[in-house]
Chain A
């Protein structure tokens, strides 16, 4: 949406008054900010978390394994895992294979989104396209731990979630081009990526809309285990959504229900600090989203969403918890989108310093650095992956280009699972029996 803000609204507005950290204001025009996202505070109790990789302090620094012991435990936070370089390879967080898998997935996400931007400006795709550049660590960190039967529910920023879950790049690209070979036959578009085969349950345009659907999928998993007595049913559902959604009623309603019934779901907040042009700080009374978990009786975790390894560690714990039937977890991933909200967003409001700060923490570069420093891979292996992904994305574009556009006959299909739902026409036959129905020209 076009920004219509005055100059004084450029920077993060003062936080609520209970913040005790003091900081220099970066903006001369606005009143001294009580909170400056780029200064880490020395005050222990209310350390600002935005832009900071410092340890958050709560009641105590309990190690990971003890964290889930009681639901009345205070907010928990993840400390900076593995800040130091490990001495031996047994301390490494990932094996070489895993590292390559994570790298490939993130590069796929990045290249795909870059290609989307190109294609959009060339007039191959239309409407609202929301790109995921910069947030790859969250998608890769979580989704690569899932099995094929686990479900993922996303928002309109769903291309990379679908790709990470296994939907072929060519299917996603075709969908974006609006062709029949797309994963939703061209009927969904950028904001509605679905795949029954890979259990991607969408793709929703309104924020928060997918969270109840994810809760329902988790409910089915529990139902199958307890009512249908399928002992191996332990499918986990991940619900991805953003910081703006965390002020929405559906979010809170679902946190309540999921915790109440101990549903196997993980609520993943991709806090990229901005909801189009609305800064998270201006919209939220208490911007620390992870705190909202314990209010409902589930653990709330904050993690650095620009670091795929840290996300993966937290994800392992959260997904494991859900799979064991211990209930939901709220994970807040602090991340950043390098591009605007959508390709139509001029992105004027965000401070270049903020963007630079996060660009320096690009998840792909960070993983690369980690893998080189720990001698997991060499340059040529990564270059080979880069090349492979480039070719894959090119091929996806070619495939999408060459695919046919939907024909009129597709218009009336899929409106109803049972097309008798179109009713009985004046001649006594069902509308769907009219031969023109399959041509898409019947009166319905």
Chain B
């Protein structure tokens, strides 16, 4: 926002409150109420407003207080955000960033634990990225703001407390590239967002058991970085996808299809996809644990795949 005064933020409670997860804390004091705009509770309308502002020269960042609320803005995201550049014959660009916390938290109940990646992935004309560490959160956010394309940035409710040393100088992460978390030889594990941490936890166990998993955080949910993924598949010949998305029609399903289409000759075993259960996230802690993928399941899956 310092660098480019066309960048502005809009969302519920982003201004005076500093954001429901304090992501925008202090910005309203510094930049004023118009640049950090507290909107009324009208997702469809203020997302559309962001799109209109983007079409006329601003670079807005629209925050969904919880990603699930963006379901109310689906009309604007699908019809206008994704499609307007095309239906206007390229006349209008929509350099908007839509972001917000999503994913399964700690007993937040079904409606506050939604993962919208799978719903948005078919919309033509948008890019989707998921951040997972403080480093890539900053880098991806900067890249998304500077991109001329509409980008949806998925954050996770449980990852806001992570601390990490990040460089003082400016850097951006490439929106279309995946991140190699841990190189390995035996199996490729593809993951994103919070599941990265479950995978790394499982990886510790696996290493103790003698396995050498290669862990890739795909980061770019749409489009997939088939180069990094492909190189890994060609090396290890086994793929495990671990995601928090629902099983049906999720990112894992698309990724499985993409890998099968492009790299079937390099696979020694069918791709295994571990996703959340197709269940509305229950409130009870025990049940909630069973809906998402846990490290123990990842370990078992790797062992089975590597037999």
Q: Do A and B bind each other?
A: yes
| Chain A positions near chain B (C-beta within 8 angstroms) | 151, 153, 182-189, 192, 194-196, 201-206, 209, 211-224, 226-228, 249-250, 253-254, 256-257, 260, 413-418, 420-428, 430-431, 444
Chain B residue nearest to A221 in the complex (CB): B56
Chain B residue nearest to A188 in the complex (CB): B87
**Is B220 an interface position by the 8 A CB rule?**
yes
| Bound form: Cα–Cα A249–B72 in Å | 11
Closest 8 A-B residue pairs measured CB to CB?
A216-B52, A212-B48, A423-B223, A253-B45, A185-B89, A184-B89, A194-B88, A213-B52
Inter-chain contacts of B56 with A (CB < 8 A):
151, 201, 216-217, 220-221
B218-246 to A contact mask, C-beta < 8 Å, 1/0? 00101111111010000000000000000
| Bound form: Cα–Cα A250–B42 in Å | 8
21 contacts between A and B (CB under 8 A): A184-B87, A187-B88, A195-B91, A201-B56, A202-B88, A212-B51, A215-B48, A216-B51, A221-B56, A226-B34, A227-B34, A254-B45, A257-B49, A416-B148, A416-B149, A417-B95, A417-B148, A423-B225, A425-B226, A425-B227, A430-B176
In the bound complex, do residue B35 and residue A260 qualify as a contact, i.e. CB atoms below 8 Å apart? no
| Bound form: Cα–Cα A424–B127 in Å | 13
In the bound complex, do residue B89 and residue A212 qualify as a contact, i.e. CB atoms below 8 Å apart? no
In the bound complex, do residue A213 and residue B230 qualify as a contact, i.e. CB atoms below 8 Å apart? no
| Bound form: Cα–Cα A79–B246 in Å | 60
In the bound complex, do residue B79 and residue A206 qualify as a contact, i.e. CB atoms below 8 Å apart? yes
In the bound complex, do residue B224 and residue A418 qualify as a contact, i.e. CB atoms below 8 Å apart? no
Inter-chain contacts of A426 with B (CB < 8 A):
226-227, 230, 262-263
Given contacts A223-B34, A423-B225, A424-B223, contact A212 B44 (CB under 8 A): yes
Scan residues 233-266 of chain B and give those whose CB is less than 8 A from a CB of chain A: 262-263
**Is B17 an interface position by the 8 A CB rule?**
no
Number of contact residues on B: which range applies?
Answer: 35 or more
In the bound complex, do residue B46 and residue A257 qualify as a contact, i.e. CB atoms below 8 Å apart? yes
Inter-chain contacts of A420 with B (CB < 8 A):
175-176
In the bound complex, do residue B93 and residue A206 qualify as a contact, i.e. CB atoms below 8 Å apart? no
Chain B residue nearest to A248 in the complex (CB): B44
In the bound complex, do residue A192 and residue B40 qualify as a contact, i.e. CB atoms below 8 Å apart? no
**Is B47 an interface position by the 8 A CB rule?**
yes
B43-83 to A contact mask, C-beta < 8 Å, 1/0? 01111111111111110000000000000000110011000
Inter-chain contacts of B122 with A (CB < 8 A):
none
| Chain B positions near chain A (C-beta within 8 angstroms) | 5-6, 8, 32, 34-35, 39-40, 42, 44-58, 75-76, 79-80, 84-95, 124-125, 127, 147-149, 175-177, 220, 222-228, 230, 262-263
In the bound complex, do residue A215 and residue B52 qualify as a contact, i.e. CB atoms below 8 Å apart? yes
| Bound form: Cα–Cα A186–B72 in Å | 31
| Bound form: Cα–Cα A54–B165 in Å | 73
In the bound complex, do residue B52 and residue A187 qualify as a contact, i.e. CB atoms below 8 Å apart? no
Inter-chain contacts of B263 with A (CB < 8 A):
426
| Bound form: Cα–Cα A98–B88 in Å | 32
Chain A residue nearest to B60 in the complex (CB): A216
Given contacts A212-B76, A228-B5, contact A185 B90 (CB under 8 A): yes
Chain A residue nearest to B58 in the complex (CB): A220
In the bound complex, do residue B86 and residue A415 qualify as a contact, i.e. CB atoms below 8 Å apart? yes
| Bound form: Cα–Cα A414–B91 in Å | 9
Tally of A-B Cβ pairs under 8 angstroms = 196
Chain B residue nearest to A215 in the complex (CB): B49
Chain A residue nearest to B93 in the complex (CB): A417
| Bound form: Cα–Cα A249–B47 in Å | 14
Give, as a whole number of angstroms, the nearest-CB distance from B156 to chain A: 22
In the bound complex, do residue A202 and residue B84 qualify as a contact, i.e. CB atoms below 8 Å apart? yes
In the bound complex, do residue A222 and residue B34 qualify as a contact, i.e. CB atoms below 8 Å apart? yes
| Bound form: Cα–Cα A257–B52 in Å | 14
Give, as a whole number of angstroms, the nearest-CB distance from A187 to chain B: 5
Give, as a whole number of angstroms, the nearest-CB distance from B129 to chain A: 11
In the bound complex, do residue B52 and residue A219 qualify as a contact, i.e. CB atoms below 8 Å apart? yes
In the bound complex, do residue A253 and residue B80 qualify as a contact, i.e. CB atoms below 8 Å apart? no
In the bound complex, do residue A253 and residue B40 qualify as a contact, i.e. CB atoms below 8 Å apart? yes
In the bound complex, do residue B124 and residue A216 qualify as a contact, i.e. CB atoms below 8 Å apart? no
In the bound complex, do residue B45 and residue A213 qualify as a contact, i.e. CB atoms below 8 Å apart? no
A417: which of B8, B80, B149 is its contact (CB, 8 Å)? B149
B55: which of A182, A201, A204, A223 is its contact (CB, 8 Å)? A201
Given contacts A219-B53, A414-B90, A423-B220, contact A212 B149 (CB under 8 A): no
Inter-chain contacts of A194 with B (CB < 8 A):
84, 87-89, 91-92
A209: which of B75, B88, B176, B227 is its contact (CB, 8 Å)? B75
Chain B residue nearest to A228 in the complex (CB): B5
Inter-chain contacts of A213 with B (CB < 8 A):
48-49, 51-52, 55, 80
Given contacts A216-B53, A421-B176, contact A256 B87 (CB under 8 A): no
Give, as a whole number of angstroms, the nearest-CB distance from A210 to chain B: 8
In the bound complex, do residue A223 and residue B53 qualify as a contact, i.e. CB atoms below 8 Å apart? yes
| Bound form: Cα–Cα A227–B1 in Å | 12
| Bound form: Cα–Cα A183–B84 in Å | 13
Give, as a whole number of angstroms, the nearest-CB distance from A92 to chain B: 37
Give, as a whole number of angstroms, the nearest-CB distance from B229 to chain A: 8
| Bound form: Cα–Cα A357–B31 in Å | 56
* Contacts beyond the supplied A219-B52, A424-B225: 11 A-B pairs with Cβ under 8 Å: A192-B88, A194-B91, A195-B91, A196-B88, A201-B92, A202-B84, A203-B87, A206-B75, A249-B44, A254-B49, A418-B148
Given contacts A217-B53, A223-B34, A417-B148, contact A422 B91 (CB under 8 A): no
| Bound form: Cα–Cα A422–B175 in Å | 11
| Bound form: Cα–Cα A256–B224 in Å | 40
Inter-chain contacts of A427 with B (CB < 8 A):
227
Chain A residue nearest to B45 in the complex (CB): A253
Inter-chain contacts of B91 with A (CB < 8 A):
184, 194-196
Inter-chain contacts of B90 with A (CB < 8 A):
185, 413-414, 417
| Bound form: Cα–Cα A215–B56 in Å | 11
In the bound complex, do residue B54 and residue A216 qualify as a contact, i.e. CB atoms below 8 Å apart? yes
Give, as a whole number of angstroms, the nearest-CB distance from A167 to chain B: 11
| Bound form: Cα–Cα A248–B53 in Å | 21
In the bound complex, do residue B49 and residue A428 qualify as a contact, i.e. CB atoms below 8 Å apart? no
Give, as a whole number of angstroms, the nearest-CB distance from B111 to chain A: 19
| Bound form: Cα–Cα A262–B85 in Å | 28
B40: which of A222, A256, A416 is its contact (CB, 8 Å)? A256
| Bound form: Cα–Cα A254–B50 in Å | 12
Inter-chain contacts of B39 with A (CB < 8 A):
257
Give, as a whole number of angstroms, the nearest-CB distance from B9 to chain A: 12
In the bound complex, do residue A212 and residue B55 qualify as a contact, i.e. CB atoms below 8 Å apart? no
Give, as a whole number of angstroms, the nearest-CB distance from A123 to chain B: 23
Give, as a whole number of angstroms, the nearest-CB distance from A83 to chain B: 39
Inter-chain contacts of A430 with B (CB < 8 A):
176
In the bound complex, do residue B49 and residue A212 qualify as a contact, i.e. CB atoms below 8 Å apart? yes
Tell which of B76, B90, B227 has the most Cβ of chain A within 10 Å.
B90
